[in-house]
Amino acid sequence: MEEWITIRNLKKKNPSLGTRSIAKLVGVSRNTVKKALKTDSAPVYERERVINEDIKSFVEYIRECYLVKQFRVNRILKEIKSKGYLRSGAALYRYIVRDLKPERESQNTSAYRPYETRPGEQMQYDWSEYTVSIGGRLVKVYVHLSILYYMM
């Protein structure tokens, strides 16, 4: 990117400067200079998307589990291992992050909408039993928690 800008600026400021001179100044080949002068936009490297050979036979199943059933990746890994997948999860994680995660995020367009109530209409109650040491003796203690909900 920087080289492309430098090449174009050198040619713009000094139109008589040849490709060989620009190539020497910038430290690139003459073909690179010619290509930079021909294009109007900076070159962008984009890696070819290749699905790992190990998971190719499981792609449809992975898509269904991740996009339709909304399974977590570690569960999908367990499922495909039970179906004969013998490798680590790295290829699976790469495939999901690169190809499926953007698709899943675009599907989830609905926003969370809480259930609203008037004051005192809704409450959450929970309790738990603990064994604690008090004065050197183990004692059972019951902890209760009540939360009153009110959404404005």
Query: Mind listing the pLDDT tens digit for each residue in 46-95?
Result: 888 888 898 999 999 999 999 999 899 999 999 999 999 998 899 999 99
pLDDT at 141: 94
Sign of the Cα pseudo-torsion (87, 93, 96, 98, in order): negative
- Average pLDDT of the segment spanning 125-147: 93
From CA 83, how far away is CA 64, in angstroms rounded?
A: 15
CA 103 to chain centre: 11
Summary mean pLDDT of the chain: 88
C-beta separation of 119 from 97 below 8 A: no
| CA torsion, ordered 96, 99, 100, 103, to nearest 10 deg | 160
The predicted-structure confidence for 30-48, as pLDDT tens digits, reads as follows 999 999 999 988 888 888 8
Q: How confident is the model at residue 123 (pLDDT cuts 50, 70, 90)?
A: confident
Question: What are the tokens at 23?
Answer: 């190539």
pLDDT at 120: 76
pLDDT at 121: 79
From CA 59, how far away is CA 52, in angstroms rounded?
A: 10
Rg over alpha carbons for the chain, rounded to the nearest Å, is 31
pLDDT at 109: 61
C-beta separation of 23 from 30 below 8 A: yes
From CA 145, how far away is CA 122, in angstroms rounded?
A: 14
